Structure formats: structure tokens, C-alpha cells
Amino acid sequence: MDPNPKPNHGISAYYQTREEHHAIISGDWLSQAQAAAAAGHPPERPPASAAALSAASKPFSVIDEFNHWRRKPDLAEAVAAIMALVAGIRSSDAATMMELEIELKKASDALKSWDTTSISLSAGCDLFMRYVTRTSALEYEDFHAGKLRLIERGEKFGEISLKARRTIAMLGQDFIFDGCTILVHGFSRVVFEVLQLAASNRKLFRVFCTEGRPDKTGLRLSKELATLGIPVKLLIDSAVAYAMDEVDMVLVGADGVVESGGIINMMGTYQIALVAHSMNKPVYVAAESYKFARLYPLDQKDLEPALRPIEFGVPIPAGVEIEKSARDYTPPQYLTLLFTDLGVLTPSVVSDELIQLYL
């Protein structure tokens, strides 16, 4: 078996684990949702996981390592990438900083080419590489001290990413006022944390969850919000415009934040933003700064498409094509503000931050 299995053709690797994490429900969704909640995670399907178990016996592979980390539900993709790179440093027998850098570069390129559709994966790799080059430029008394420092930093990153989420929740919950109605789309850990914090601060608000087809992530979010005692209403994805009149703000997460200040997120975000914009409702985005990517899509087709299977419940007639793309690009003019761990930003500041980080 290929030690580094390519993700299934037609399905983006990113969405394979998302399915696991977000407890996919199909068919009789309610019963299965409950079953999924009870079981924690549905049985593991991707072939990559098998390789990860036997990783110890084999020579180090950054991709196995990445897959290993990726299967932890609380860990973001970018964090998993950095963890994998840190493991790469640890197992490396490079003797100089330069050598280590070259090795790391190779590893991050391998990771990036393994799944070209994941934005936070490549953003995480870039971020860590940037850090390594900056650190190596510093004067270290000896190479091992530098190496240890890198490992330490990398391991702290998971913590930092959790802290970033908390920061965002703190900033974001200020925007939620008593009696407001919030429309959310898909399941985003950051968005959930914002709502959670707002609820724990005894704010009274109402949430509209879209269904989020095809993986129905909205169902999961609605369930978790309901357990917190927040009034939730579930909408089908096509009812967004119908419900927008009642909505006070739209709050979404992001897979990636691009240089123009726009976001790449689950399919349907763009149309929600368009509807909200035309009805003058604010659209807020909650995203950690490690999702900032040096990408600049000009239109929807200017992205590497991330594909995923779509269940229609009935057999598809022959000769009918299916749009399988899993995400869309929302241009910055439809976004109001971004809640990030760097602060509450307007879309145009994203580029500023990226320039300062990467140039």
C-alpha cells in the first residue's frame, strides 16, 4: 500500500476529516445525529488513518504525522500541519540550521501538495516556515538550542490556537446584544465559542441555523446550541432570504481569509452574504489569524476546487452533472468586520497584516 495515500479522487482530503469531526448525518438525520453524538465519532473511513497507526515502525513521514494530528477533533487543520512539521524537526538529524530549513521546506511542500485544496493547511505551513526563517536569522549560541526553541514553539501552537479562539470569542460577543437574532451557517468552532461565551454572559439572543447541506453541519450546531439553552431555529439553506428580514446579523466562520479581505468558506456563505448585503444586515466573520492566506482569488472559479460527494437521496439520472464544489469565495465588499485574534478588523486590514507577516 502506498504509504502516503492520495486523498480519494473527487473528494478533498480536507472534507474527509471534516466529516468525521462534524459527525455526518444522512438519510434519517435525526436518529443518526443522536447516534453520532452517543458514539462520539463514526467509524473511521479514510485510508490515511490506517497508515498513521503504523507510522512508528516506518521512516518518518510528515503526511502520516499530519493525519495523526488531524484526527483529533479539537485541533484545527493549521495546528495539525504545524504539529506535523514539529515532529519533522524532532526526528530530523540535520546538523545545521540551514539543513533543517531545507528539510522543513521539503516537508511543508509535501504536505501542501498532498492536499492542495486546504487553505488552512498551506497557511499553517507558510506561517511556520516564516517563523523558522525568522528564528534562524537570529543569533543562537548553538544549533540545538535553536532547534529546541522551534520545537517548543510549535508545541505551544496548539495552545495558542485555543487562546486565539478565546480572544475572538471575547471580542465577538460584544457585538451580540440582547434580543438580537443571529444567522449562522455551517459549523464553525470559533462561531460556536462566540455564541457560547455570549450565552454564558447571560445575553439573550436567538440563533437561526442553516441546515448546511450536504454534510448538514447546521444540525450539529443547532443541537449544541440547544443544549446551552439558546433558542435555535433551523432553516433549510434556501430559506435564507425568507428569514433575513428577522435577522440582525450574520455570523460565519472561515476556511481561509484571503489577501483581498474576502473569505473562503463553506458553500452557501457567498449567497448569504449577498442577501444580507442587499438587506443592509452586517456580516461578521470569526476567524483565527493563522487562516490568513496569501491567496487572491478574482472570482469563484479562481480557486482550487475542493470537491466532496453530495447525497441527493435519490438516484441521479444518467447524464446529469453535479456541482461538487464544497466552498465558495465571498468578496470583501460583502463583509462588514472580521473578528480575529489580532482584533476586530475591516476586510482591508487583512492585506496589511499579511504584508507585515510575509514581506
Tell the smallest beta-carbon distance from residue 356 to another protein (Å).
7
Cα dihedral value 300, 304, 308, 314, nearest 10: 40
Tell the smallest beta-carbon distance from residue 308 to another protein (Å).
23
Choose, from 115, 255, 328, 341, the residue flagged as catalytic: 255
- Cell match 458553500: residue? 267
Collapse the DSSP code of 340 into the 3-class scheme (helix H, G, I; strand E, B; otherwise coil) and give the result: strand
Tell the smallest beta-carbon distance from residue 202 to another protein (Å).
27
Tell the smallest beta-carbon distance from residue 133 to another protein (Å).
10
Tell the smallest beta-carbon distance from residue 320 to another protein (Å).
24
CA 255 to chain centre: 4
Q: Which amino acid is at 145?
A: A
With respect to another protein, which residue has the nearer C-beta, 8 or 300?
A: 300
E strands, 185-336, are: 205-210, 232-235, 249-252, 256-257, 263-266, 283-286, 327-330
Taking alpha carbons only, the member of 131, 68, 184 closest to residue 290 is 131
Collapse the DSSP code of 99 into the 3-class scheme (helix H, G, I; strand E, B; otherwise coil) and give the result: helix
Tell the smallest beta-carbon distance from residue 119 to another protein (Å).
16
Collapse the DSSP code of 337 into the 3-class scheme (helix H, G, I; strand E, B; otherwise coil) and give the result: strand
Phi then psi dihedrals of residue 322, to 5 deg? -125, 135
**Does the annotation mark 255 as catalytic?**
yes
Q: What DSSP designation does 61 have?
A: -
With respect to another protein, which residue has the nearer C-beta, 82 or 209?
A: 82
* Whether the Cβ atoms of residue 290 and residue 78 lie closer than 8 Å to each other: yes
Residues that bind another protein (CB under 8 A): 82, 127-128, 130-131, 134-135, 153-154, 156-157, 160, 167, 259-261, 289, 294, 296, 298-299, 301-302, 332, 341-345, 348-349, 351-352, 355-357, 359
d(CA 317, CA 228): 43
Tell the smallest beta-carbon distance from residue 24 to another protein (Å).
32
Positive or negative, the CA dihedral 201, 350, 15, 91 is negative
Taking alpha carbons only, the member of 199, 100, 208 closest to residue 148 is 100
With respect to another protein, which residue has the nearer C-beta, 39 or 355?
A: 355
With respect to another protein, which residue has the nearer C-beta, 153 or 203?
A: 153
Instruction: Enter the C-alpha cell of residue 42.
Output: 463514526
With respect to another protein, which residue has the nearer C-beta, 82 or 219?
A: 82
Taking alpha carbons only, the member of 254, 334, 236, 238 closest to residue 295 is 254
Provide the b/e sequence for 123-145 (b: ≥16 CB within 10 Å): bbbbbbbebbeebbeeeeeebee
**Beta bridge pairs of residue 329:** 264
With respect to another protein, which residue has the nearer C-beta, 58 or 130?
A: 130
With respect to another protein, which residue has the nearer C-beta, 56 or 359?
A: 359
Q: Return the active site residues.
A: 255
